Every structure is written in C-alpha cells, then in structure tokens.
Structure 1
C-alpha cells in the first residue's frame, strides 16, 4: 500500500467515533425538562384530571411533586395518594424520573404491570404502590434498585413467586407483599440483613417452610398462606406421609363402621322429619287462631313524639305472612334492654310496609351534629364519650351470641343525648329483619369489604362500621366525602383508606378535625382513639378487635381525657387564686 494512503491509528479511532454518533439516536441529558415531560406523559396515561400547569416548572406548585434544591433542580418525590388514578403506567414515564427518591401511588386504581423500566430510577429509596390493581409478576428491573429501603406492594393482584433476587436489595428494611396472588415457596436462602418488617399474608398459594432468616417474625406476617415452620405450626414430616397397606381385618372394620354410621344418619333423618311434621301441624293451628283474630278490632300503637302523643291504627297481619323466623327475630329485638339502646315498643309488619317503633331518645343523630347546617363544635372529650356510649350499645348486642349483630352501624343511626354526654344506637337488627333487595353502594364508606349480603352482617363487619364512625368523629369528614376531589357520587377513596394513607405518609396532623386539632392536653388520647379506629377498619376481619375490647379501650381513653381536663381545671383555678 502506498505510504500516502496509510492512516494513523488515532485518526482511525476518531473517524469510528463520528460514525457511531451518526447512527446512534440522540439522548438528552437528564434534567428538569425531561422530568416535566415524563410527568405529563404519566398524567395523560393515568390521571388526566390532575391540575398540573404545563406552562410552569413541576417545582412550582404541581400537586404531589417535590424537587431538589436549586441549582440543578430535579424531581425527587411524587406522592399521588388516593387521587383516583386509573389505567396503566407505560414505559417511559416513571422510568424517566432518574433522580426520583420517593414514589407513592397508594390507594388508586392503577392496573397492568409495574413499569418494566422502574429499575432506571437508580436513586429510589421509598416505593409505595399499595391498594391498586397492579398485576403480572414483580419486574426483574426492580432488583436493580440498590438504594431501596421500603417497598410496599400490598393489596394488588401480583402473581408469580417471591424471587431470591430480593437478596440484591441489601438496604431493604421493609417488604410488604400482603394481599396479592403470589404463589410457590419462599426462597430458602432469602437473606436481607437490614430487613425489619416483612409481610406475605393473604397470598393463599404461597406454601412450604418459612425461611430461617424470617423465623423470628410474628405469625401475623404469614396469615392466610399455606406456610409452615418458624413462628407457625411445624411442617409435616415426610415419615407421616408414607402410605401403609391396609390389612383385610382393617378393611372389614372400616366397612362395618361405615354401615353403623349410615344407620345412625338414617335414624336422625327420620326423627327430624317427624319433628318437622309435628311443628307444621302446630303451625297450622296457630295460623287458624290468627285468622280468627284478624277480624277483631285493630291494635292501637302509641308513638312517643316530642310534643304530644300520636295514635296509629292498623290491623295485625296474620302469622302465616310473618313466618316463624320473622316472629322470633321481632321477639328477640323486643327483649333487648340496655341504657344505650332505645327500647322497642311496637312493630307493624306487612308486605308493603315494615315499621319498628322505638322510644324517643336524644336530640339528633351524630351525622346531623357533625355535618348538618348548624354543626356544633364538639370537643374531643365529648366525641370520645359519644363513641363510648355507642360502643357499649353495640357490645351489648354482640353479647347475645356469636351471630348477634347490629347490621347497619353508621353515624345517622347513632342518636346523641340532649346533654351531649351519651348516645343511643338505633335501628339494631333492622337489616336482618326486613332484608334488602339491593346493597347500598360501597361509596357510603361504612360497609366492611367482605360483606356481600346486608342480611348476614357479622360481628367483625359491625366492628368495621363502628371504626368508620370513630374516624368520622375524629376527622369531621363524612365517609361519602372523604376526599375533596373524590368526584361526584363518592367515587373517591373512602374515609378509612384516606386516613390510613395520610397516617402512613406521616402527615397525621392533617387527619383531625380543625375543631379538635389544636386542643391542648389530649393529644395522646386523640392518637390512641385514632389508632383504635384504624384497627377496627382493617381490611381483614380477623385483625379487628372485638366490640368488648373496643368498649374497654375507649373507656380508658375517656377516663384519661377527663382526668387531664379535671387536672387542668383545678390547676388553673389554683393559679388564679394564687
């Protein structure tokens, strides 16, 4: 080759570099403008109602967005808790927020997979995705987040197994995978040295032994799974699973036992049929007697009013229309007597109309006192006493047996006394008595998530409803309007979820009603009652306390609050006299 055609190696490298630059796509250095574009793309995908002004910087008042200090500002926090977000998060939105340290999208309706490019958020420390509809598996890119400290992926629809790749997250202190559809065994070599909080409860397909590194955790971390060992029951041994051949004598014994059991069952069936026939005969005699009385004078029912007595006359309906079950329920309701339950005086029952007549009590419902046009300024101690009175009434109902429940606890059914020092729980047993053709919307906020039939409300569901009333007393918010931007018809997040999200974001002071928020000396009691309300509104029924326990805890709170108030009054008078 001619000397003039030779190129120095350095010149060849420069030419190669220019060639690569010509064919590779251009990349803009990460900056605030790129963060702005990523957030606007996120809004387009899941939150078109978010009031972000594209003409200004995200650091200038975009709701839920926080930035690092200038110069070199970047978006470091995105907190969009309970903002009615819905839809799927596409790749190229969250993943482009490369300086992000906190991402909180709790309690929305975001669906689809967790973005596959979330691993690009290399600075991410806190990831909160609880209470959405994320599905598919946990993306592999999540295990690239070496700085991640807390990951809450609970109450979604995630599938697949719990990967041993979590071991790559050496800084992880909290991992919450509760309430998903995860399956398989937990990795035996799972080792997260900084882990202090872990929960895989209510993933019914997770099975096998609890890893040794998690054996010191409480059983509540593994509820609703098929796990064993560690803090749970011991795993079955392999020897117990060995099959043994049955001898001829054992087979004969099993056959004889089965024949004896069959004879016993048939005998019981005959006795039950005979007993039912006797009751049916007696029932027909009762109906005949009722038909005779139907033509007699109408029953006079007196209803106590605030100013005078009013009389309503009606014919008593025949027993065959009411049925024995309904009759027993009316008798059971009438037998309930308690200082915090209005007494049942009479009833009217027909196909067109069903009425229960109670004693007139109180000066108005708790709902009207808290949210009515002339809402009163109830201090904390008064609110706690109202909660205690209502708790005593509900606890008394629950004392009637494991199936005894109120069925419709809400603020409009809590009637406050005229002196504001007590309350009555009204309409007890009404849902079970008259039934309902259609369930009220969940937007009302009182109904426990597991309730599917208004005529079969459990005691744990009553506890949930009572917990909502407690939160309503503390926040001053009606459950149907828990969020100012919740949308028409109560389409936003209900009160219990809103309170939980605010507390978890460590903005607890934002929870309390402004009337009591700055009330002196009772801060501790307010926090204790708030904690109790949150325990009552746990999503899983077995985590809720009993009403007897609720009553006892509120009683102690009232006693402590009253003692502080008395001490303050006495101390103040001494100061004045001095």
Structure 2
C-alpha cells in the first residue's frame, strides 16, 4: 500500500471514529457502567433478542430494551426491566454512580442477594420498584439517605431486620414492604403525607405510631405482635399512665360521686313526667313511620329501621345475623337486634334494593344493603357469601355481616365517608380537582381487583354482576375499592363466562366515565353510543373531559385509555388482558412524570 493510500485510510478511520463518538449521547463511562449493570443481572430463561445493552451502541439513540431517556433523548432517566426472569444481583454502584436515574424498576424477576449500601449513590432516584424478587438480608441504612424518593416498593421478598426511619424524606408518598420478614418496632414515617403504606404480613412488634388514623387494619395485618386502635390487639396502658389515671380518680372521686347523686335526684323528679310524654311520642312515631321510607316505629315506641320490618316479623332474629371476618372491631359481636335499634338513614335506592347508613351503639357507621326478591335459596346465598369472604383483595370492600330470610337479604359493610366514584365525577366536588393521575390510579386499582376476583372465583361462577361507578367507593384516604362484589347473579352466567363478560363491559363503561367526565345516562343520550359515534366520525378529541384538557393531561395516553374502554365494550376481552393494558398505561404515565421532573 502506497503512502498516499495509507493517508486516505488513516483520514477515513479518524473521520469514522469522530462521527461515531459524536453520534453517542451518553459518555463512554455511563455506557460501560450500564453494560456492567446488565451483565450482573444475568438474564434467565426468558431471553429477548436485540436488547442492545452493549458497549458499541448508544442507550438513547439505539433504543436499549427497558431504557427511557429524557425529552431531548440524550440522558438515561428510566430503567424498567420487569418480569424477565432476571436471576443475578443488582449492581447499584455501577448504575447509580454514573447515571442520573429517576426510575429503576426490577419488579417480578428472580433476583436474589442482599441490597448493598451503594444504593445511596442513587441520589436523585424518585421511583424504586424491587418487589416480587428474592432479595434477603436487611434494608441498608443508606435507603434513608434517598431523600428524593417518592415511591418505594420492596414487597414480596425475603427481607428481614428492622424497617428504617424514613421521616427525613418529606416527599415520600408510597412505602410498600408487605410479605417480608421484617421485625422490631415500626419506625416513624410522615403518615400524614403518605398515599400508600403497607407493612402487612411481617413480624413487627409494638404499637402503631400512626396517630393520623389514615391507614386501616389492612396496612398492618399479619403482624400478631403489633397493636393499635385499628387492630384487634389493643395496646396495654403504660405504667405512668395507669398511675396518673389512678391519682386522678382518687382526687376527683368525691366530686364525681356528688354529681351522680345530683343526677339521680333529677331523674327521679322527671320520671313521672317522662313516662307520660313517652306514651304520646310513641303514638306519633307509629303514625309518621308509615310514610317515612327511612325508618318505622314499633308499638313500644322504639325506632326500627325500615329494612328490619319484614325480617323481624318473620322471627328467628337473634341467630340470623352472620358476622364474617372483619377488620372493624365494632362489628365483632354485632347482633341483628343492634341493627334494629340503630338509627338508619336512607342514602340510596337502586333497581336491586336500597342502601342505609346505620350507626350502632359502637359508634362505627355501617352500611346496610337491602336486597328484595332475589331468587336464590338460603343455602346458596350462605354458600355464596362465605365463598366471597374467603377471597380477599385490598381493593374489594368486604362484607362484614349478612342476614337472610325468605323475603329479603341484608349485607353489612363498613361505611366509606367519601362516597362513590360516580359522586366524585358527576356531583359537586367543592373545588376538589379530580386529575388524570388519580383517575388512572382508580382505573388500575379496579382492573386489578376484578382480574383477581375473576381468577379466584372462576370455578364458582361468581362475578360482580353490577359494576357501575356508584359501586366504586372512596375510602377516607381517597383510595378506591369495589363494593357489592358477588351480590347479583347474571342471567345464564352461573357457570360460564357470560357473568364475567358483564363485568368487563361494565368496567369499560366506567373507563368512559373517567375519560369523558360524563354520566352513563344524561340529557337523553347513552354514553357508550355517543362515544362510539364521535370516534367513528374521527372527532376523538371531543370526548375528553375538559378538566383533563385544561390540566394538560397527555392526549396520547387519554386516547389509549379510551381505546381500552371501547375494547372492553365492543370486544369484551378477559380481565387479565384488560389489567395488563391498564397497568402498562399507568406505569408509562409514571415514567413520563419521572422523566419530566427536573
């Protein structure tokens, strides 16, 4: 080769190297660190071709599998490698020192080993999902140094030791650590700021430090040595408190005794007058109860709830109420007589029955659903309720008690103070903004709950049967839960897929309500027909709720949720298929939020 030819080769090589270097958006150190990170994850049996993740390519421009970059497509921000049967270890040192990750999701793989202290290198990480693996050992202390964390999920692993004090992290919204082997006392969290919290099914001890009452028994269940107001185990009084209480009683004893004597004397004076007035009031209540629709009166003058009249007249009252397993302490020992005596307020009527808010002596408000003319035997009804009670999902409101007679059936639930999804969507919100993220969360929660219940109750043929937005309730934490599961038997659906298809269709209609903000039947039009017609005319943008448009919600993701809704209505896939689509959309939304943050 001549000198001139050699010069040409050298020049071309230099140009090629220069162009290649300019084509890369991330530095060589970052790419090398990411490749080392992937090498240690060791892909298992679920191999995927063309993953990228090699030193000669670029993670942003060459679309490495599971990698998302920032809006300028120059910096790696999210890594999501989920359900890939990865079986190695996580090299936090490599992935965190060189990158500026906002999201790392490795959930539902087969990863093992302990979590190293080097996790503290992920200074800017906001979303960390390590759930559904085989991680063991303690949570490293450095976790508490991740003050940018918004959501962390280490549930369903084999972790042990103590939980960490995360009170320094004032931005933490979600902490999930259920189904591990954590022990010791619960540390402090900013419970008032958290949206999701779950440490159930561990070996924690002592008193729940949550004095806000925002999280119920489900968040702490499965820890036999944990105590608190929301759990069956009451915490013992401290010795100092006992002494103070004892001293107080001694000091104020004479005052209390004098007050009691004074009250007794007053009662004796008023007794005769009271007996006379009670008789007259009882007569007036009997007459007014005939037209009330909410409550009626017995001949003795005691208030009876309307739903109790038929039941009481058929006898067998005392042994008729069946109390199921319930996290509501006040329900334990509840008798039918308690429901009869309790004040009842009619809060809703539907084609399948009426709903009452009842306040027994225990002070915990309950809801009684009264169903009339349901053609199902007592034996079948009992079997159905017990089977539904066996299948628990945190987003399905459990029946806490039931009653069955020939004429009617009663279901008892814990009262949810924030009403229903229907009310939130279609009635006055008092200035409360129902944003896109919240709607997507409710869609995801409902889909996961239905898919779980369908799977567990498939052989029994028990579907929801009446899934509508008024049967999706909001807890005190504004978390959603599906109510009245299994109360309706769908025609021709006892042992085949028809009953479950009805649920999928109903879920599709709920999604339409979430996207459009419109009621199912309003102003003479049918929501499903209207949406189908608008989409057919290619005016899809016209269907979206104006609140979401003003908010700036992603039109692309709103369109995708609309497509899922129409697929549920027109094609009726299985709930397993539906939940995959909805969860994928929600996770994409979370990644987008993380990548848009500074």
With normalisation by structure 2, the TM-score equals: 0.39
Larger radius of gyration: 1
With normalisation by structure 1, the TM-score equals: 0.40
